[in-house]
Amino acid sequence: MKTIHDFSRKKMAHEKITMITCYDYTSAKILEQTHIDCVLVGDTVAMLMHGYPNTTHATVAMMSFHTKAVARGLNNKFIIADLPFMSYRQSQKDTMHAVQTLMQAGASAVKLEGAEGNLNTIQYIVESGIPVMGHMGLTPQHIHGLGGLKLQGKNDYAKKQLLQQAKQLQQAGCFAIVLECVPTELAKNISENLTIPTIGIGAGPHTDGQVLVFQDLLGLQTQFKPKFLKQYLKGEELFVASINDYVKTCVGLQTYRWTRIEHRQHNADAVADKEQRCQKPCPNSSSQHQYNGNQRILHK
């Protein structure tokens, strides 16, 4: 996928959209070789690459830095970059500066969380020629307001509200929407009532696409295990085992090296001792005989 038109084309053709997060050049080079449709430089980078407890610690500078790295590793993937916490909730000038920074870093589109208070902002960004992906349901940047990372849309009122907000995001100009941690039937209902595609994470199988975090998919972190997560590789275990194998190899080489050094030193000492002994005069040497012969000749 290279343009936003590929998203609508896939929805019309009932083809699932696949998206994965990425934060660095090396991972991007790997993803370039895969069939993944699009890549999200998500604000989860603050947690997975910088060790912060949540995504509110991501900044425009951080997102730009990682977007540049990912863009250098990808040539044929559509890149979406997250607008970080509060970067689009201040002035229009600040918002557009953040958008410009991420787009010039290599993004093909930006993503922001929530509908309330953002519709005019989305419309303005889209009218400026920048594709916008929406994000609703569980919005991690609102973790403190939500009281934690919890399933959203559990009661009838919340379900109606989320459906309405999804339609508002579509009306404002979003080309796609991420649905995070909402009930399966709600995600299905929203997907069926929109002309733009939905991309789910923890939202069941009926969305128009799916997104997973790179480290979660490959099992590179095991501390956070949501119920919906399927790990396709036990990456952390493999990494640990491989590094330990390397350590064992190095220790083995060191032992072998020192054994060889001791062996060579032993041989060198033996040779030196032999040479030293050979340098001493030998009573039966030919030179001694010659000397004695000369003495005998002189006495004659």
Q: Residue range 144-155: average pLDDT?
A: 93
Least confident of 15-19, 54-58, 143-147, 283-287: 283-287
Q: Residue range 131-150: average pLDDT?
A: 95
pLDDT band at 257 (very low <50, low <70, confident <90, very high): low
- For residue 265, pLDDT beyond 90: no
CATH number for the domain formed by residue range(s) 4-233: 3.20.20.60
Active site residue 127: no
pLDDT in tens, 70-112: 999 999 999 999 999 999 999 999 999 999 999 999 999 999 9
Residues linked to residue 209 through DSSP beta bridges, in sequence order: 17, 199
Q: What is the mean pLDDT of the chain?
A: 90
- For residue 241, pLDDT beyond 60: yes
pLDDT given at position 229: 84
Backbone angles phi, psi at 216, to 5 degrees: -70, -45
Measured CA to CA, the distance from residue 132 to residue 171 in angstroms comes to: 12
Q: Which of 32, 116, 180, 262 is catalytic?
A: 180
Burial class of 170 by CB neighbour count within 10 A (0 to 12, 13 to 18, 19+): middle
Domain ranges, ordered by start, for the chain: 4-233, 242-299
pLDDT given at position 223: 83
- For residue 263, pLDDT beyond 70: no
Helix (H, G, I), strand (E, B) or coil at 278: helix
Per-position DSSP letters for 164-187, written without gaps between them: HHHHHHHHHT-SEEEEES--HHHH
